[in-house]
């Protein structure tokens, strides 16, 4: 086992320093408490790639030192570790929910890495003062979904929290049915959310705590905002730009978050809190991946507008620190222009367009309309598009077969072929470019469900296999081609909700 890993994760035994800069903000921001460890824990999954990013190289499936298993199962948390749960508030499904907080998560501290300090957090480590009516636990099912999604999104190039590992236990946990407990070790430069700012704007009689939080985020994550005439305005604009890029990434890979509440929006523009998420199968702009979202608030096509709504909530929270409210609104304008420009660029890349022309957006919309009308598979359509033959009269049967209305597709394909010829596109070179941005492998719900079913029977091998496939989503991996197939019929009946 890596000596650094052993020293870091067993600091109470071997010494070392695990700072938690968030703790310097003061008691009103968190509650210190130890985790409630898993009884008789065992390893479920381990991300070697995440371990390397933390500077913790590991050659095996997971560390062999039992003290590491104990630490990441919540059974080893003495000083100098500083386990704490933070308080925040937020809007849930567009309604003010009041105080929320880390109801089942604890920050252990930070590791120094080549990419800067990384916070280490246990999710599923037991009750906190912010658990409300919950039990503070995570189950194996939801932990596998979060672990795989975190690492899959990272491999796709989408900003996200990471997941180092899952540990499990036979401890029973009741959801819709009795399941078993698990803990995910999550990693991010910061887990601060829009809801942290909302909490102190709504609950504190003075602006002191809110100002300290703004100063903390600027100092630790956005130092370029420090010298601005109004640092809070500069911070809001920086968050708007990051959020715009994130939304463009989500839309471009067909990702649906499912619970875009303000308490699930990262101040760093990261994808955070994987619950009822999903990647699109048959393309449907109105797809709602969360079966708890009865109004369809967080449908795929609505995600960009919801993000803008959430940014308005953040702006409202920051108003006590902003002299002119109009400046807060102006700080959000880069979201609208930034999102549109970022999405246009990503969609041009998905179509293999090397230049920018006036009709490109209409060309993209034309394809998406055809895909929606015929329920063409999102990922498979774009992957097959790389093999498009732009010669006049070429058949393109493999792509054409995805569409029911062949004549309508042929009309679009003719426009696409002319656009490619206009920029003298070389099909072979274009295909290489497109296959670097259009993934062959995404974490479809039926793939996660298969891994979960096997894990519930005590076989965690499929979790590891799926992680390996998803770690190289743009590679052909012919030996794993089945993971890129159309979803089976039974996948239509998978339901994910807020308990997922």
Mean pLDDT of 321-327: 94
Average pLDDT, integer, range 287-294: 94
Distance of CA 196 to the CA centre of its chain: 19
**What is the phi-psi region of residue 112: left when phi exceeds 0, alpha when psi lies from -120 to 50, beta otherwise?**
beta
HEC profile of the chain: CCHHHHHHHCHHHHCCCCCCHHHHHCHHHEEECCCCCCCCCEEEEECHHHHHHCCCCCCCCCCCCHHHHHHCCCCCCCCCCCCEEECCEEEECCEEEEECCCCCEEEEEEECCCCCCEEEEEECECCCCCCCCCCCEEEHHHHHHHHHHHHHHHHHCCCECEEEEEEEEEEEEECCCEEEEEEEEEEECCCCEHHHHHHHHHHCCCCHHHHHHHHHHHHHHCHHHCCCCCHHHHHHHHHHHHHHHHHHHHHHHCEECCCCCHHHCECCCCECCCCCCEECCECCCCCCCECCCCCCCCCHHHHHHHHHHHHHHHHHHHHHHCCCHHHHHHHHHHHHHHHHHHHHHHHHHHCCCCCCCCCHHHHHHHHHHHHHHHCCEHHHHHHHHCCCCCCCCCCCHHHHCCCCCHHHHHHHHHHHHHHHHHCCCCHHHHHHHHCCCCCCCCCCHHHHHHHHHHHHCCCCHHHHHHHHHHCCCCCCCHHHHHHHCCCCHHHHHCCECCCC
Query: Which of these, 164, 171, 106, 94, lies nearest to 140 by C-alpha position?
Result: 171
Rounded Cα gap, residues 455 and 117, in angstroms = 33
pLDDT the model gives residue 58 = 59
pLDDT at 329 over 80: yes
Q: Which two tokens stand for residue 231?
A: 């640092």
Other beta carbons less than 10 A from residue 357's beta carbon: 13
Q: Is 427 a catalytic residue?
A: no
The reported pLDDT for the residue numbered 327 is: 96
With cut-offs at 50, 70 and 90, classify the pLDDT of residue 500: low
Instruction: Give 120's strand partners.
Output: 109, 187
Q: Residue 491: which pLDDT band, with cuts at 50, 70 and 90? A: confident
Per the prediction, the chain carries an average pLDDT of 93
The widest CA-to-CA distance across the chain, in whole angstroms, is 71
Q: Say if residue 465's pLDDT is above 90.
A: yes
Angle at 431 between CA 429 and CA 436, to 5 degrees: 105
Q: Average pLDDT for residues 333-340, to the nearest whole number? A: 97
pLDDT(128) > 80:
yes
Judged against a pLDDT cut of 50, whether residue 2 lies above it is answered with: no
Q: What is the pLDDT of residues 297-310, one digit of tens each?
A: 999 999 999 999 99
CA–CA dist 408, 62 (Å, integer) = 52
pLDDT at residue 82, as a whole number: 82
Mean pLDDT, range 151-169, rounded to an integer = 98
CA 435 from centroid of its chain's CA atoms = 22
Is the confidence at residue 55, as pLDDT, over 50? yes
Q: Give me 83's structure tokens.
A: 């386990």
The confidence score (pLDDT) of residue 386 equals: 98
Q: Give the confidence band of 3 by pLDDT, cuts at 50, 70, 90.
A: very low
Is the predicted pLDDT of residue 492 greater than 90, yes or no? no
Residue 64 confidence (pLDDT): 79
pLDDT tens digits, one per residue of 209-240: 999 999 999 999 999 999 999 999 999 999 99
So what's the pLDDT on residue 57?
Answer: 62
Q: Supply the pLDDT for residue 17.
A: 63
On the question of pLDDT at 466 being above 70, the answer is: yes
Give the N- to C-terminal CA distance of the chain in Å, as an integer.
33
The pLDDT of 458-478, averaged and rounded, is 98
Helices 406-422, 360-374: crossing angle, 10 deg rounding = 160
pLDDT band with cut points at 50, 70 and 90 for residue 4: very low
- Please determine, for residue 206, whether its predicted confidence score (pLDDT) is greater than 90: no
10 Å Cβ neighbour count for 133? Answer: 5
Mean pLDDT of 343-361: 97
Tell me how far apart the alpha carbons of residues 412 and 372 are, in angstroms, rounded to a whole number. Answer: 14
pLDDT of residue 14: 30
Which of 230, 12, 178, 196 shows the shortest CA–CA distance to 88? 196
Confidence of residue 107 (pLDDT cuts 50, 70, 90): very high
- Can you say how many angstroms the Cα of residue 333 is from the centroid of all Cα atoms in its chain? 24
Window from 51-55, 150-154, 331-335 with minimum mean pLDDT: 51-55
Q: What is the pLDDT of residues 171-196, one digit of tens each?
A: 999 998 999 999 999 999 999 999 99
| Residue 254: C-alpha distances to residues 140, 277, 303, 434, 444 (Å) | 25, 11, 11, 16, 11
Residue-wise pLDDT tens digits, 373-414: 999 999 999 999 999 999 998 999 999 999 999 999 999 999
Which two structure tokens, joined as six digits, stand for 488?
Answer: 């089976």
- The pLDDT of residue 19 is 78
Structure tokens at 469: 């496939």
**Which residue is catalytic, options 263, 273, 281, 293?**
263
Tokens of 341: 């420009």
**Is residue 16 pLDDT above 90, yes or no?**
no
For residue 304, say if its preceding peptide bond is cis, omega within 30 degrees of 0.
Answer: no
Distance separating alpha carbons of residues 210 and 198, to the nearest angstrom = 9
pLDDT, residue 462, reads 98
| Residue bearing the bigger pLDDT, 442 or 78 | 442
pLDDT at 496: 85
State residue 1's pLDDT score.
36
Task: Please state at what angle helix 208-221 crosses helix 231-253, rounded to 10 degrees.
Answer: 60
Query: What pLDDT does 463 receive?
Result: 98
Distance CA(150)–CA(274), nearest Å, equals 8
């Amino acid at each position: 086992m890596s000596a650094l890993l052993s020293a870091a994760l067993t600091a109470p035994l071997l010494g070392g320093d695990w700072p938690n800069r968030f703790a310097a903000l003061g008691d009103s921001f968190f509650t210190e408490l130890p985790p409630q460890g898993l009884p008789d824990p065992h390893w479920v999954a381990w991300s070697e790639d995440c371990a390397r990013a933390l500077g913790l190289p590991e050659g095996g499936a997971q560390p062999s030192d039992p003290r590491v298993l104990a630490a990441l199962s919540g059974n080893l948390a003495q000083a100098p570790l500083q386990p704490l749960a933070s308080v925040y508030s937020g809007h849930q499904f567009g309604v003010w929910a009041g105080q929320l907080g880390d109801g089942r998560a604890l920050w252990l501290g930070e590791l120094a890495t080549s990419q800067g300090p990384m916070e280490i957090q246990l999710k599923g480590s037991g009750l906190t003062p912010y658990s409300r009516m919950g039990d503070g636990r995570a189950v194996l099912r939801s932990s596998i979904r979060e672990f795989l999604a975190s690492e899959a999104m990272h491999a796709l190039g989408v900003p996200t929290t990471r997941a180092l590992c899952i540990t499990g236990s036979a401890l029973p946990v009741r959801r819709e049915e009795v399941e078993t407990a698990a803990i995910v070790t999550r990693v991010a430069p910061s887990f601060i959310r829009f809801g942290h700012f909302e909490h102190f704007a709504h609950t504190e009689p003075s602006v002191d705590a809110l100002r300290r939080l703004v100063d903390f985020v600027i100092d630790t994550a956005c130092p370029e905002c420090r010298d601005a005439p109004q640092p809070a305005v500069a911070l809001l604009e920086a968050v708007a730009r990051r959020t715009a890029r994130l939304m463009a990434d989500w839309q471009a890979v067909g990702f649906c978050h499912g619970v875009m509440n303000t308490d699930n929006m990262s101040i760093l523009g990261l994808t955070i809190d994987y619950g009822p998420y999903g990647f699109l199968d048959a393309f449907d702009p109105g797809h709602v991946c969360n079966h708890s979202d009865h109004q369809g608030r967080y449908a795929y096509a609505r995600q960009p507008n919801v993000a803008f709504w959430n940014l308005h909530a953040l702006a409202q929270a920051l108003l006590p620190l902003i002299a002119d409210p109009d400046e807060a609104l102006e700080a959000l304008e880069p979201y609208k222009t930034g999102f549109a420009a970022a999405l246009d660029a990503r969609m041009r890349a998905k179509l293999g367009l090397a230049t920018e022309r006036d009709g490109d957006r209409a060309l993209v919309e034309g394809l998406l309309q055809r895909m929606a009308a015929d329920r063409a598979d999102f990922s498979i359509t774009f992957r097959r598009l790389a093999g498009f033959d732009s010669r006049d009269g070429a058949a393109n049967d493999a792509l054409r077969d995805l569409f029911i209305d062949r004549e309508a597709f042929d009309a679009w394909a003719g426009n696409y072929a002319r656009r490619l010829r206009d920029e003298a596109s070389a099909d072979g070179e274009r295909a290489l470019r497109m296959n670097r941005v259009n993934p062959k492998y995404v974490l479809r719900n039926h793939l996660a469900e298969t891994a979960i079913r096997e894990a519930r029977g005590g076989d965690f091998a499929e979790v590891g296999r799926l992680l390996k496939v998803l770690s190289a989503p743009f590679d052909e991996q012919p030996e794993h081609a089945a993971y890129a197939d159309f979803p089976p019929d039974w996948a239509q009946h998978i339901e994910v909700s807020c308990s997922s």
